[in-house]
Structure 1
Amino acid sequence: MFIDLSGKTALVTGSTGGIGLAAAKGLAGAGARVVVNGRDTERVETAIRAVLDAVPGSDVSGVAIDLGNAGGCDSLIGAVPETDILLNNLGIFGPKPFFEIDDATWETFFQVNVMSGVRLSRAYLPRMMEKGWGRVVFISSESALNIPADMIHYGFTKTALLSLSRGLAKLAAGTGVTVNSVLPGPTMSEGVKEMLKEMAADEGVSIEEAGESFVKSQRPSSVLGRPATVEEVANMIVYACSKQASATSGGALRVDGGVVDSIVP
């Protein structure tokens, strides 16, 4: 399958590393004009260089804005008033015992993981519908379906994204705009590697081996038996953003390595 997104603009939130950066590279490789985003100017500039290194000659720019509040989202919308593809990738995670999660933490997770996508979709989706083409993708997680006992606040936000994307897909029905969620499983992003460092040191193994051990012990239903790479997840994202995915909308597209033990998507 040859995916050609020439002439399309793709805005990828939280794309200075991990899945977001891999998706930005994949979209640029398909010919899209890509806008990367992060909170830190230096990291945004580094991400731009990484996309250009991966796809020489690509059209890539960046905006350094914190989207964890309404003001930041408004600033981004002002800087990038229109886009054809909106990839709501921004998200934070981290294990914490439920009884130690205070209201402020709940609010932070909700604002960053959910409301950033709500605000940006509210701004960009109407114009996509007017033009008769657009793609909105939310990065959810297998944790939306398998709520982790040690990350209930995170799982809650990822479940919310499934409801949001399904509802928006219905709202955009018949307009040529599709809205989907992508559900990665354990993925070797920078954040996960950092989380595995201590485990790897304790066991005297590499981070990759620690990743396999983690999947087998904490996600034993995994068919893959290892964490996915960010590129493997990005492949699904790029497809969901493609013209070829015109009949895929309202979906929860799993790229979880089979962690969710169900034959129904």
Structure 2
Amino acid sequence: MHIDLTGKTAIVTGSTAGIGYAIARGFVQAGAAVVVNGRTEASVTHAVARLANEAGALAGHRIHGIAADVGTAEGCAELVAAQPATDILVNNVGIYGPRDFFEIPDAEWTRFFEINVMSGVRLARTYAPGMIKRKWGRVLFLSSESGLNIPADMIHYGFTKTALLSISRGLAKRLAGTGVTVNAILPGPTLTEGVEAMLKEEQQASGRTMEETAAAFVMQHRPSSIIHRAATAEEVANMVVYAASVQASATTGAALRVDGGVVDTIA
């Protein structure tokens, strides 16, 4: 299967590192023009330069950066003002972090909701009408296996990822017959820069490779994993790029899992 997104524009929020960056790189490799997004000019500039260097001179002109904090209504407006239309919208931006339920204040629930959920709501609400007019478009929400398998130490995070599943399914129904598909992607434990930083001390103490350390972490905290390791960011990105492709035209309203089999269900 050859995925060709030549002539398409893709916005990937929170794409200066981690899964978001891998998704942006996947779109560039598939021929799309890509908008890299992050909160600061410095992080966006660095990511764009890195991506252009990896993609090569011929692809570099298709990579653009927009610094905007899409976790706020103002930041979403800034992104839209800089890029008024897109063919593909990947709502990837998100935050996470363990915290006991009884210690999470109202403000933290609101912060997680604004960044993880409302960023996608606001951008989909703005960009989808243009997709409908053009009779083609892709809206993707980065949920998580934690949206189904709610972590006891990150209930506020799990709640936001469950919300994205509801929004994705409902919006797919709302856009029925328009040529615009809407899907949710559910990564499981993934070896990103953030996870590497979290495991670095343990890895150095054990003398194991980072991949081995991450695999041990997965089996300790997600023992139902079938692949017995963390996924790579590229493996998650591959699913996103496929879901955004012409070949995936019959896939909509779906929760597409890239969780390594962590969620112990057959549906």
Does TM, scored on the shorter chain, surpass 0.5? yes
SS in 1 for 2:186: strand
2:4 aligned partner, one-letter code: D
Which residue does the alignment assign to 2:266? 263
What do the CA deviations read for 1:246-265 (whole angstroms, capped 9, x no partner)?
0000000001000011111x
Which residue does the alignment assign to 1:35? 35
TM-score in terms of structure 1 length: 0.97
SS in 1 for 2:23: helix
What do the CA deviations read for 1:166-195 (whole angstroms, capped 9, x no partner)?
011001110110000000000011111122
Which residue does the alignment assign to 1:45? 45
2: CA distance between counterparts of 1:105 and 1:173?
Answer: 35
2:178 aligned partner, one-letter code: T
Structure 2 residue 169 is matched with structure 1 residue 166: yes
Which residue does the alignment assign to 2:15? 15
Structure 2 residue 131 is matched with structure 1 residue 128: yes
2: CA distance between counterparts of 1:12 and 1:78?
Answer: 16
Following TM superposition, where does structure 1 have runs of at least 4 consecutive aligned residues deviating by more than 6 angstroms? none
SS in 2 for 1:67: coil
1: CA distance between counterparts of 2:170 and 2:114?
Answer: 19
1: CA distance between counterparts of 2:96 and 2:202?
Answer: 18
CA deviation after TM superposition for structure 1 residue 196, in Å: 1.6
| Residues 150 and 201 (structure 1), Cα distance of their counterparts in 2 relative to 1, 3 Å cut | farther
Moved more, 158-167 or 205-214: 205-214
2: CA distance between counterparts of 1:243 and 1:208?
Answer: 34
CA deviation after TM superposition for structure 1 residue 32, in Å: 0.3
SS in 2 for 1:156: helix
Superposed, which structure 2 residues align to 1:104-115 within 5 Å?
A: 104-115=107-118
What do the CA deviations read for 1:48-78 (whole angstroms, capped 9, x no partner)?
1222122212200000111111111111111
Superposed, which structure 2 residues align to 1:1-265 within 5 Å?
A: 1-56=1-56, 57-58=58-59, 59-264=62-267
SS in 1 for 2:191: coil
| Residues 99 and 204 (structure 1), Cα distance of their counterparts in 2 relative to 1, 3 Å cut | farther
CA deviation after TM superposition for structure 1 residue 202, in Å: 4.8
The CA RMSD over aligned residues, in Å, is 1.0
2:104 aligned partner, one-letter code: I
2: CA distance between counterparts of 1:51 and 1:64?
Answer: 16
CA deviation after TM superposition for structure 1 residue 47, in Å: 1.0
CA deviation after TM superposition for structure 1 residue 4, in Å: 0.5
Aligned length: 264
2:132 aligned partner, one-letter code: M
Moved more, 97-106 or 196-205: 196-205
Percent of matched pairs sharing the same residue? 62
1:187 aligned partner, one-letter code: T
Note the residue ranges of structure 2 that are not aligned, 5 or more in a row.
none
What do the CA deviations read for 1:203-235 (whole angstroms, capped 9, x no partner)?
443332221111111111101100000001100
1: CA distance between counterparts of 2:107 and 2:174?
Answer: 32
CA deviation after TM superposition for structure 1 residue 201, in Å: 4.2
Note the residue ranges of structure 1 that are not aligned, 5 or more in a row.
none
2: CA distance between counterparts of 1:140 and 1:19?
Answer: 12
2: CA distance between counterparts of 1:167 and 1:54?
Answer: 37
SS in 2 for 1:35: strand
TM-score in terms of structure 2 length: 0.97
SS in 1 for 2:167: helix
